[in-house]
Homo-oligomer: A and B are copies of this chain.
Amino acid sequence: MSLTISIDAMGGDNGPEITIPASLECLRNSPNLKLILVGDEAVIKRLLPNDLSPYQDRLSIHHASQCVEMDESPSKALKNKKDSSMRVAINLVKEGQADACVSAGNTGALMATARFVLKMIPGIDRPAIISTLPSIHGHTHVLDLGANVDCSAEHLFQFAIMGNELVKAVEGIEHPKVGLLNIGEEDTKGNEQVKTAAKLLENSSLNYIGYVEGNSLNAGSIKVDLIVTDGFVGNVALKSIEGAAKMIGTTLKEAFSKNIFTQLVAIIAYPVLKSFKQRIDPRLYNGASFLGLKGLVIKSHGGADRLAFKTAIQLAEVEAKQDVIKKISEQVEKTLALRDIT
């Protein structure tokens, strides 16, 4: 099966200098993949190799005259940038010319534009952002990571339904373990939203395992496949983890750079430290999916390098191949029908 992904070639802190080489690498790795590079045609052409024959008809350029700035307000981008690389890349998904779209652009503008162009799946009130974190058990999927600052119990329930379908499809797990992020595992813990969401999840068909705490994102006592939380908490947790990893990495580097002796040790330990670094390399976890929309949009980290952006394209490929949006839509419809009956 051939898949087509539209790439917002101009998006991100590094723009086409990164998105284009990453795209070419994905094409070389995936013989059935087709990519549409969306952006300034002249710029894109300048960065492409002269000989495109290895990519045959699997690479095309779709001109877009505008760019959404990284600090542009979502409403302004929506109003004034109708021919932006971001908007046009999403339009291609809407029109069925692409199965998914990947952008490293401004998150707020990407979310607003995707929501405006693609519309919501009926029955879902709000889109949510889901991504994956490394854990001692493998990895954990988490949503929402920042699309919603105030969530009702019903919103958390909808996130769980959507996330569960994504994890099933992407991981090939029949009954993913779903946990609700809270400040303790006891029933009495948490705020009203969380407590009510817990009841909704207990009465659902999901494999709900109960409350989990912040440490479960990376290193809980048991493996959890999907952790559900509101966007404020999820975003703070994600960035707290990024900060912790940065501090630990910096401290480790400082310990090995301290003096001649430690620098010598660093040389000897280099292969071990390298293999350690690779195992928790955040670039291998790049790419967040917007769930709840009628089309597949993957957000790459704005500062993504070639490897990180490649990971985001590969994520789009997997999710498109697994027809995640269709599966989510069907499941949401089923859940709603079941509610109408009961």
Contacts and interface: CB of A to CB of B under 8 A. Distances in A.
Interface of A: 73, 134-136, 146, 149-150, 181, 183, 188-192, 213-220, 229, 231-233, 235-248, 250-252, 254-256, 258, 262, 265-266, 268-269, 271-273, 275-276, 279-280
A280 B251 contact: yes
A250 B134 CA distance: 12
Given A251-B276, A276-B251, A215 B239 contact: yes
Q: Which of A150, A235, A244 has the most CB of B within 10 A?
A: A244
Given A255-B272, A255-B275, A276-B255, A215 B240 contact: yes
A154 to B, nearest CB: 17
Contacts of A219: 242-244, 246-247, 250
B214 A243 contact: yes
A25 to B, nearest CB: 26
A286 B248 CA distance: 18
Contact of A190 (B218, B232, B248, B275): B232
Contacts of A231: 183
A225 to B, nearest CB: 16
Copies of this chain: 2
A294 to B, nearest CB: 26
Nearest to A145: B183
Contact of A191 (B214, B232, B250, B256): B232
Contacts of A275: 255, 258
Contacts of A191: 149-150, 232
Contacts of A232: 183, 190-191, 233
B272 A244 contact: no
A236 B239 contact: no
Contacts of A190: 149, 232
Nearest to A186: B71
Contacts of A242: 214-215, 219
Given A254-B279, A255-B276, 9 more contacts: A136-B251, A213-B236, A217-B244, A219-B243, A233-B233, A237-B240, A251-B276, A254-B276, A265-B272
A188 B31 CA distance: 44
17 contacts: A135-B247, A181-B236, A183-B235, A183-B239, A191-B232, A214-B235, A217-B244, A219-B244, A219-B246, A229-B236, A237-B237, A238-B240, A244-B244, A244-B248, A262-B272, A265-B269, A265-B271
A273 B255 contact: yes
A244 B239 CA distance: 11
Given A190-B149, A214-B235, A265-B268, A280 B243 contact: no
Closest 10 CB pairs of A and B: A214-B239, A215-B243, A214-B240, A255-B276, A218-B243, A218-B247, A219-B246, A183-B235, A244-B244, A149-B191
- With a 10 A CB-CB cut-off, give which of A146, A229, A248, A258 has the most chain B CB atoms: A248
Contacts of A150: 191-192
A248 B251 CA distance: 12
Contacts of A229: 236
Considering residues A191, A241, A268, which has the most beta carbons from chain B within 10 angstroms of its beta carbon?
A: A241
